[in-house]
Amino acid sequence: MTELDRSELREVSAAVLAVTAHLTVREVLQTIVTSARRLLGADYAALGVPDQAGSFAEFVVDGVSEEQWAAIGPLPRQHGLLGVLLSDPHPVRLGNIQEHPRFEGWPAAHPALTGFIGMPITDGGDILGGLYLANKPGGFTAADEELLRLLAAHAAIALVNARLYERGRELSIMEERNRIARELHDAISQKLFSLRLTAEAAATLLERDPARAASALGTVRQLAAEATGELHAIVSGLLPPELTGDGMDLALRKHVELLDRVHGAAFTFASTPLPRLRPAQQEAVYRIAQEALHNAVRHAHASTVDVRLTGLGALVVLRVADDGAGFDPGEAGQASRRLGLASMRERARSAGGRLTIDSGPGGTTVKLEVPADA
Ligand SMILES: Nc1ncnc2c1ncn2[C@@H]1O[C@H](COP(=O)(O)OP(=O)(O)OP(=O)(O)O)[C@@H](O)[C@H]1O
Ligand SMILES: [Mg+2]
């Protein structure tokens, strides 16, 4: 490679800096194309990044005016010589592009090309795109090819960075989606379940026992208000409203009393003084208790459900025991569409706690142990 003069160095360094500056991918690619054209002294330059549909996700050009570009028409497809360049990781340097066996012509308004260099932009074995230069007085040299290889390497870095960034963004959107699904499941669906049952009870009581019907409607109103509060907390990423007011044990006691009122089984609650948990841990205990209770209501057909919160040194132990039908926790955990058990496990894990589920013909006991921080 011949030595770069000062202005060439400046061009290369501008292109390299563009990759590290916080520009959009398109701006980086445009800088690289413009630098490539100026450095090699070519009339035209382009950089293409193929898409899955046989066209180009990005196609930036330099040396073509807006009007010319508009007159040329739609983006090129990945056929002919462009197709070769996108499947073969070697550069192509031609005195006259029309002599290449795969040359297939160009649209009517396209400028006439003679000399040509195509340089693949690669990442390991993957071809990410190509840099294309055309029409240099005197023709392209081996030194031009080397310079272009350098610029293509920087285009590759920009493209790989952009992909990583996009992947990271998709992941965090997915995580947020999962979080919201879990929160909606844990916080809202059981409230609505209780609400529906209470509304049905109110409807059947209406004629027979208006006073009890009125009290059931009071519960309906309370449940609806709670569901609204929960929804607000989920949307704004806040703690469950019950926990911000009362603290975990009182909130859980109230919840158990409500279930005792709404559902057929007898619900009992007992607690001892507890070591102080972080808010996120309190939330985990509360939500796990709610889901265990909800499962006992929906699946166990239990006649009694007992909830205990016990402080054992630095440990908080939650125990939710029903005397219902029981199930096989190992098997139920595999049922992929179900959220409840999976969410309990996930919450226990992220709170640094341990969850065990004992179940058999005598009923089910869900136990959670969470260590308070020193
Ligand atoms: N206390 C329980 N008694 C009897 N069966 C239970 C109990 N808890 C869970 N199960 C069984 O385990 C299965 C999985 O529970 P899980 O909470 O994961 O899902 P789900 O309650 O069916 O649905 P959701 O996703 O709304 O919670 C339940 O469908 C039920 O068959
Ligand atoms: Mg469930």
d(CA 78, CA 141) in angstroms, rounded, equals 26
Residue at 149: amino acid letter = R
Pick the atom of ligand 1 nearest to 342's CA.
18
Is any atom of ligand 1 closer than 6 Å to the C-beta of 324?
Answer: yes
Tell me, yes or no, whether 32 lies in a domain: yes
- Together in a domain, 138 and 254: no
Mutate which of 189, 306, 338 for ligand 1? The one with the most ligand atoms within 8 Å of its CB, which is: 338
**Which residues does residue 311 pair with via DSSP β-bridges, in sequence order?**
316
- Together in a domain, 163 and 21: yes
Span 249-278, mean pLDDT? 93
Tell me, yes or no, whether 303 lies in a domain: yes
Distance 298 CA to ligand 2 centre (A): 8
- Together in a domain, 155 and 255: no
DSSP class of residue 150 equals: H
Comparing C-alpha atoms, which of 213, 189, 151 is closest to residue 339? 189
CA neighbours closer than 13 Å in the CB half-sphere of residue 373: 7
- Residue predicted with more confidence, 13 or 311: 311
d(CA 16, CA 326) in angstroms, rounded, equals 65
d(CA 132, CA 121) in angstroms, rounded, equals 10
Q: How far is the CA of 18 from the CAs of 24, 28, 168, 360, in angstroms?
A: 10, 6, 22, 65
- Together in a domain, 26 and 154: yes
Which domain, by its residues, includes 328? Answer: 247-374
Query: Any idea what the CATH number is for the domain that residue 331 is in?
Result: 3.30.565.10
- Together in a domain, 10 and 144: yes
Tell me, yes or no, whether 124 lies in a domain: yes
- Together in a domain, 33 and 158: yes
Reported as a pLDDT band with limits 50, 70 and 90, residue 11 is confident
Is any atom of ligand 1 closer than 6 Å to the C-beta of 16?
Answer: no
Residue nearest to atom 14 of ligand 1 (CA): 332
Is any atom of ligand 1 closer than 6 Å to the C-beta of 129?
Answer: no
Residue at 152: amino acid letter = A
Distance 326 CA to ligand 2 centre (A): 13
Is any atom of ligand 1 closer than 6 Å to the C-beta of 31?
Answer: no
Mutate which of 183, 259, 295 for ligand 1? The one with the most ligand atoms within 8 Å of its CB, which is: 295
Distance 152 CA to ligand 2 centre (A): 54
Q: Which helix (H) or strand (E) holds 177?
A: helix 142-183
Res 18 pLDDT > 70: yes
Res 1 pLDDT > 60: no
User: Distance between the two ends of the chain, CA-based, in angstroms?
Assistant: 65
Pick the atom of ligand 1 nearest to 343's CA.
18
- Together in a domain, 266 and 122: no
Do 348 and 333 meet the contact criterion of CB atoms below 8 Å apart?
no
Six-digit token pair at 302? 């239990």
| Ordered alpha helix ranges (H), 184-306 | 190-208, 210-235, 241-246, 248-262, 279-295
Which ligand has the minimum distance to the alpha carbon of residue 300?
A: 1
Is any atom of ligand 1 closer than 6 Å to the C-beta of 325?
Answer: yes
Query: Any idea what the CATH number is for the domain that residue 37 is in?
Result: 3.30.450.40
Pick the atom of ligand 1 nearest to 302's CA.
3
d(CA 357, CA 368) in angstroms, rounded, equals 9
Distance 201 CA to ligand 1 centre (A): 24
- Together in a domain, 158 and 277: no
Tell me, yes or no, whether 214 lies in a domain: no
Q: What percent of the chain has pLDDT over 90?
A: 67
Q: Which helix (H) or strand (E) holds 160?
A: helix 142-183
- Together in a domain, 141 and 283: no
Point out the least confidently predicted range of 15-24, 59-68, 226-235. Answer: 15-24
Last residue of a domain, one of 169, 197, 228: 169
Is any atom of ligand 1 closer than 6 Å to the C-beta of 300?
Answer: yes
Tell me, yes or no, whether 196 lies in a domain: no
Tell me, yes or no, whether 1 lies in a domain: no
Res 15 pLDDT > 70: yes
Do 291 and 364 meet the contact criterion of CB atoms below 8 Å apart?
no
Six-digit token pair at 314? 């630095």
Instruction: Give the other-Cβ count within 10 Å of 351's Cβ.
Output: 23
**Which residues does residue 369 pair with via DSSP β-bridges, in sequence order?**
317, 354
Mutate which of 327, 337, 367 for ligand 1? The one with the most ligand atoms within 8 Å of its CB, which is: 327
| pLDDT 10s digits, 288-339 | 999 999 999 999 999 999 999 999 999 999 999 999 999 998 876 565 678 8
Six-digit token pair at 150? 């350098």
Instruction: Give the other-Cβ count within 10 Å of 42's Cβ.
Output: 23
DSSP code string of 321-337:
EE-S----HHHHTT-TT
Is any atom of ligand 1 closer than 6 Å to the C-beta of 301?
Answer: no
Last residue of a domain, one of 148, 169, 190: 169
φ/ψ of 366, rounded to 5, equals -100, 125
Tell me, yes or no, whether 76 lies in a domain: yes
Span 155-171, mean pLDDT? 83
The pTM of this model reads: 0.63
Residue at 44: amino acid letter = Y
| pLDDT 10s digits, 187-238 | 888 889 999 999 999 999 999 999 999 999 999 999 999 999 888 888 777 7
- Together in a domain, 159 and 253: no
d(CA 170, CA 108) in angstroms, rounded, equals 41
Number of domains in the chain: 2
Tell me, yes or no, whether 295 lies in a domain: yes
Last residue of a domain, one of 169, 201, 218: 169
- Together in a domain, 163 and 258: no
- Together in a domain, 15 and 160: yes
